[in-house]
Structure 1
């Protein structure tokens, strides 16, 4: 995959001896982030509900946690695959107990868990009271509950040493989501909640030297997105003819490189409690996507929402 092609901003063995948990690393951004942490030398526990012989409700059996772990190891780290449903307390508790037994530490927690796209009726005007309530509840469980369950069990291990980093992955920055309703209702709620989580964890973890932040990837060309647009990574620009905004898309490796830069930044605490975008941080860290561009979709879509016009994507890459 693209995350394997070039070194991350962390590079080398900058995270050697560090232990990371990427919760929701079966595919897409989660997989790419796990690989980049491995490339920087970390031991990375990768979790998800799709493993050899088990498929989650997303119905994508082709991508498994074992494959992700293999990619982490091939990149230079140590990948450890664990099939976990992060809505099941006992499974998450046992996962953290295993990390403690094996390593006695946890330095980086990345909450990427989602898997709720099949529940969202994109492009339809569905008011809150018209929305399927069971689907709405499931969205909140997948996008919110799974995150705080994981943090609840993982943080007691993380705060034993100063320098811990908690990264909540969500859709859009707090500034963008605060200014615009990300309909439908339950999707908006699920994607805004992580901002409040990091503000709370930033305060509660500060005395332990722990940093919590929210990181927003852009329009990622994940496996599912490429399939939806009927293209591959090699010919993805063909989809721009019918969907011009697709020109702002990026590979999952882009946000993964930004994450690795955050994880190796000795001054990462300056972001404590904040919401940051991959595009914005890429400029600060000097990071590019695999094609050498530096897309800033947060700025692009903010302009679209503000004006209703679609500017030239080339001005935002």
Structure 2
């Protein structure tokens, strides 16, 4: 009976964690209740009971919604940490029982979505068919925040600033490459200089993407004047654009099919000393014990990235 009571209490707290997290994400009792499939009045009672138990108000109520108080932020951090630990425990126990199941949650820069992740995930699942993946593609700031919010086990991000609460598992230097149509005149040259690229219109990633910061710093130090005809936060958009004209775009090397043609698009190194390179970082939240599937996938990903250096 005691064992059953303890399990029920654990599930009850996990349910409360989900309730509070849903309110914080939606900013509304009504929207959170809809997502949780309970009534708003029931959810509001759960929140009031928890606030009474803690002796603190967890949310400020405004005309435009609900916002966590300082106590609410503290509770959310604790809740997300506990929920992530519980999922890791379930995965670890499942592994001991030979179930070989679980989910790897990843947040990554968009440059990696085109070829790297589909290929590595396919390779990993051939030997681990019970492992599923959730991959969130976002800008570099959101990748780090996803680790802090326990939404992601692993983050893969280019040109990110060091943070005290983020632990790099691997860093691989990445050069920028020029991306262009396979019929482009520059596609016949094995290596390029930036001045070669600037003879043509440019389609650039916007400032939310790590490679743009590298380009802007280079242009600020040089006398070169780029003719930017398109900016986008979508590498798919940029690739599709340059496929049909003489424009040139840029992407880090691991996100390109370097020296190969894919869907009518190819890429070449840009060899300018002032352009340099920046690290692609595989990271986790410092001090967090990763679930076994995430640890194993991190090892596989590290091996692939190391071979690509």
TM-score (structure 1 length as normaliser): 0.25
Q: Which has the higher strand share?
A: 2
- Normalising by structure 2, we get a TM-score of 0.25
